[in-house]
Chain A
Amino acid sequence: MTRRSITIVGASLAGIRAAESLRRQDFDGAITLIGDELHAPYDRPPLSKQFLAGDWETDRLTLTQPDKLDDLDLDLRLGVRAASFDLDSRRLGLADLEDQSSEELVVDGLLIATGARCRTLGGAEGLDGVFVLRSLDDSLAIRAAFDAGPARVVIVGAGFIGAEVAATARTQGLDVTMIESLPQPLSRVLGDEMGGVCADLHREHGVDLRTGVGVEAIEGDGHVERVRLNDGSMIEADVVVVGIGVIPNTEWLEGSGLTIDNGVVCDATCLAAPGVTAAGDVACWPNRRFGEVMRVEHWDNAVAQGAHAARRLLVEDDEAEPFIPVPWFWSDQYDRKIQMAGRIGLDDEMHIATGSLAERRFAAIYGRAGRLVGVLGFNRPRHVMRYRMLIEEGVSFEDAIAAEI
């Protein structure tokens, strides 16, 4: 397949790794990388961890060192938003956020990597002291709010981002209340038992964790003052961080001719339409390994899918390979590294392969229909990765239990 040029929309993890992959495949056409943030591509995981804690500065967030970025020979357009796309004419509408100018490009290959943004709680937008966490600017704002020494931080949502922010705030000695509407943190993903392990972790570190209760309203006069819960209780708050999930950034593709349904809908090879692929948090595709349509919001997936979607633009349809990863992610909370690979379902069989829940150092493996499908680890990185390889090999649950790791 000879392609003249490739345009990548979204200049973050999936987008930059896609560009690198194109050059590694010896693609020597023009690459345009468009991103609506002003910062050079940066890494997000530290934003709730080392960077938020003040242990790292922005130089540690760089995704690609300046000399390597130069070598990629990109037409890098930062501060520019893709506003529209039309599949038939292949016209991509751009809006420059700084000088308000607009422009239209006719694209050849298009790779969509616009990621996701935070869901917000209606009604709290105008209040100072209420934050979400997705971008460097968000993290800087929360960091400044933490530095001001608030009397109490309230975290809404005990998912991975909320839990990491809670851990960082506690480590700084701040008073933290975390509110979760599920019976246990992450119980929808990990089940009640493992959710309980996460709950204990936070409670032991002094977080006032309230589960099974929702937020009714965030109130204040200019600045946030309190959070009202739906059990009638009220919590005073100087800082509120809302971590209730993300929404894929697909609005700019409305009416484009692409199918949008919980992200950009792709085929098994990451192709959304002829010459159009998608990768990272914004992409939704059938993962044949699991026979499941997925949209994965993990760092490692953005890297792998970015590379896959880039390659996909360079090959003919009959040479295209399906994207069949075993999803993997990590989360750092206090001194625990929580890692998960594969898929964990609430009805799966579970076996503690090593360690114990009580010491919070263990690897639990999950089986479904006789197959090994998932692994969850607390401070057991080696085990998680070994079992991930076994999932890739398609071993039976029985063999996984018997395996020497």
Chain B
Amino acid sequence: MKIVVDFDLCESNAICMQIAPDIFEVRDDDFLYVLNEEPGEEDRARVDECVQRCPKQAISVQG
């Protein structure tokens, strides 16, 4: 699975970071960094939760 973040929509509120800190990180510059763009199947449930919980609907998953 591949994670795609629409950075025009993302407002760095770090909801995703709270759910999956090993995949998403909002840094000091207040930008979101995707630490792992292609996590394994074992992470799907958490990534799905990030997709749902992102208030800006900025995260999508391909594959």
Q: How many residues of A contact B (CB 8 A)?
A: 23
Interface flags for A306-331 (1: CB within 8 Å of B; 0: not) read 01000000000000000000001010
With A300-B55, A382-B26 known to touch, is A24 a contact of B48 (CB < 8 Å)? yes
A-B contact count (CB 8 A): 46
Query: CB distance A382 to B18 under 8 Å?
Result: no
- Give the docked Cα–Cα distance between A275 and B26 (Å): 40
Name the B residues within 8 Å of A307 (CB-CB): 52
A258 to B45, alpha carbons, bound, how many Å?
34
Contact of A388 among B11, B12, B18 (CB under 8 A): B18
Q: Within 8 Å of chain A (Cβ to Cβ): is B2? A: no
Instruction: Check: A20 CB closer than 8 A to any chain B CB.
Output: yes
| Residues of B1-21 whose CB lies within 8 A of A | 11-15, 17-18
B52 touches A337 (CB 8 A): no
Distance, CA A328 to CA B19, complexed state (A) = 14
A304 to B15, CA, bound (A): 12
Question: B53 touches which one: A43, A303, A337, A384 (CB < 8 A)?
Answer: A303
Q: Are B53 and A45 touching (Cβ within 8 A)?
A: no
Q: Are B18 and A389 in contact (CB under 8 A)?
A: yes
User: In chain B, what residue has the closest Cβ to A21?
Assistant: B52
Q: For the complex, is B42 an interface residue (Cβ under 8 Å from A)? A: no
Does A17 contact B52, Cβ atoms closer than 8 Å?
yes
Known: A337-B11, A339-B13. A385 touches B18 (CB 8 A): yes
Q: State how many angstroms separate the Cβ of A61 from the closest Cβ of chain B.
A: 10
Complex CA–CA separation, A380 to B15 (angstroms): 13
On whether the beta carbons of A381 and B13 are closer than 8 Å, the reply is: yes
Residues B52 and A300 in contact, CB atoms below 8 Å apart: no
Taking a contact as CB atoms under 8 Å apart, the answer to whether A300 and B15 are in contact is yes
Q: Which residue of B lies closest to A43 (CB)?
A: B57
Q: Answer whether residue B28 sits at the interface, using C-beta atoms and an 8 A cutoff.
A: yes
User: Would A382 and B30 count as touching, CB distance under 8 A?
Assistant: yes
Q: A303-B52, A328-B15, A384-B14 are in contact. List 7 more A-B contacts (CB 8 A).
A: A330-B55, A379-B30, A381-B12, A381-B26, A384-B13, A385-B14, A389-B18
